């Protein structure tokens, strides 16, 4: 008997196979699948999980000051991908590679 996988908070949406997909593109598809505006998904699910304390005081900074960093190769992108992996139970959302 195959053990059940743990439930995830968000749908387990597979990244586009063999294609490069930015983290924000993946989040847009995920928001659409949930029937939510992208901003709502990010503010409700991602911002509270980030280690950046200032985001809790000013959550829109993820868009205005850090938005481009979500699609980069740095710490914000890596942390964002790990958060999304945890929320979707979809491992392997790779930054700067052929997935997300």
Report pLDDT digits (tens) over 16-35.
776 778 888 889 999 999 99
Report pLDDT digits (tens) over 58-83.
777 777 777 778 888 888 888 989 99
Confidence of residue 99 (pLDDT cuts 50, 70, 90): very low
pLDDT given at position 93: 74
Supply φ then ψ for residue 77, to 5 degrees. Answer: -65, -45
**Whether the predicted model's global pTM rises above the 0.85 cut:** no
Looking at per-residue pLDDT, the higher value among 99 and 77 belongs to: 77
8 touches 87 (CB < 8 A): yes
Give the count of beta carbons closer than 10 Å to the beta carbon of residue 9.
10
Structure tokens, 69: 């960093």
Contacts of 36 (CB under 8 A, 6+ apart): 44
């Amino acid at each position: 008997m195959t053990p059940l996988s743990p439930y995830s908070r968000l749908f387990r949406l597979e990244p586009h196979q063999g294609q490069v997909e930015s983290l924000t593109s993946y989040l847009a598809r995920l928001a659409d699948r949930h029937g939510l505006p992208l901003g709502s998904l990010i503010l409700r699910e991602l911002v509270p999980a980030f280690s950046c304390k200032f985001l809790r005081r000013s959550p829109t900074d993820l868009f205005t000051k850090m938005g481009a960093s979500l699609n980069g190769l740095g710490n914000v992108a890596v942390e964002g991908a790990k958060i999304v992996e945890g929320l979707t139970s979809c491992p392997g959302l790779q930054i700067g590679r052929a997935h997300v």
